[in-house]
Structure 1
Amino acid sequence: MMNVYYVARRELKAGFRNPWAYSFMALFSVFSLSLLLINSQNVVQGYSGATGTMLSLILYLLPLMTLFLGSFSLTAEKEEGSWQLLSTYPLGTLSFLAGKYVGLASVLLAIVAFGYGVMGVAGALFGKGFERNTYMLFFAFSVGLVLLFLAVALIVGSLAKNRWQALTIAVAIWFFAVIGWPTLLIAALGLLPYLWAKPALLILTMCNPAELVRLFVVVKLGGGSILGPEYYRWIQWIDEPGGTLLFLAVCAVWVGLAMLGSYFIWERGRTRG
């Protein structure tokens, strides 16, 4: 446990010294103010066309930002020789990856919190802020994307040998999970027998962290009716009293499995030198 703490603290210090972190902080702050500008033209409460647009904009930016910072952090350890030095200490692979995850998550969540803080202060000053529940769901949406895609970023960083490989893999994952997902989903379901469509939809949605978090927030915002009858069971369990806890449990399992995958990939590379 102490090893996790030391790795996380080291990553936290390195993260706030990284110019990329401040670049993303500035970008996300400007981005947050842009969302506030959209809201000022038509005050958002619950799910609407404006809300859907804002969710899509967040979905484009945050996963890509998270994939870059997370995967680059791991590949830097390989390129700069830091991992070779760390591996001479009694530091297990799982402790190393867990520390990395905690440290990077702290940096990324600080960026997100700062951006939403700027948005909240500006909204309060000009009287154009979001309705409270909507604001909190937007924040929860952003946190969920960061935590899930950071787990994916660890897999990318474990697979890639250098930053260029990490960049290529990260952009490919972002494109398929965010941009190309609707087309790929329709194409995949169209190849299956009708009776298999709904189980396949459930499995495929669970495999895509972006879609998983988006569906949860859309339903919580009251926009479940736009999802169609295929998602009826999703709307049911999310709207139940224990729906939020169940969603958090699913996310925890998702992160745990991704961390386990990163562990096996990293350990395999470690044994091969």
Structure 2
Amino acid sequence: MHIVFFLALVALATFCQNLTGFAFGLIFVGIAGATHLLSISDAANVACLLSLVNGVSYLRVHRFTPQWDLLKPMLLSSVIGVVGGVVLLHWLSGNALNGLRMLLGLAIVLCALLLLLQKQAQTQLSGSTSLWLAGLSSGVLGGLFATPGPPMVYHLYRQPFDRLLVRHCLFSMFITCALLRLVMVAADGQITMPVLLWSSMAFPVVTLVTWICAKYPPAIPRRIVEWMVCSLLILSGVSLLVSGWQAGQPEPVVPDNETASRPVPSHLAAARLTAPVSTP
């Protein structure tokens, strides 16, 4: 049953990624973490491997001429951010696992709300500073959770770009971030056998769904697609926030049988017997 749910989740995330150019890592890591299908770290590593497969498959089907004046600052800033995110993950993973889960949930909800509130693209291009900031923050999220989408998605979808160009740029950034993150986490020994087994099961699903979306593109209005994806993002993000908050609450101390049946020391028993009884 876990395998069926896992493969269905991979298919859903791949479908949304091919429609919008983002959301694979957000949906996969968000739902997998919220349902405890995988740990956050394992889900991020699996998402990283699958994002790489998805990106290569997409760009093989949808050929494009790179616009390096746009791609260079995107890729450079995201690479720097990925390095910082992986270092941060290594420092936090043993200290604030629930904090990581809640941070991811908050990032997912904010991304979804920003996209839903956006009515139309800007008429003029934003400056290079905002592009670098979006790349850096996307890279940090990519290093932490293998989800580099939200900041760059919000930035690019606000620009007066063709939507196909936006998807091409996002897939190029995802491939670059995934490759770098994989090298760093593999060097740290985090690409474990379970991660490889889960990923190998999902490879055919990612390739097949990407091919079907290219061969038979669904005729769904863009706004409806955005609402569908953002609704899934909000649900998964809220679930992560709730589960992280509940896991971080202290559990009530309940005495076990041995403690409950242990005899009360004689001096404490005598003190209880001689203690005055208070009256209202």
**TM-score of the superposition, structure 1-length normalised?**
0.31
Determine which structure has greater relative contact order: mean sequence separation of CA pairs < 8 Å that are 6+ residues apart, divided by chain length: 2
Greater C-alpha Rg? 2
User: Which structure features the higher share of helix residues?
Assistant: 1
**TM-score of the superposition, structure 2-length normalised?**
0.31
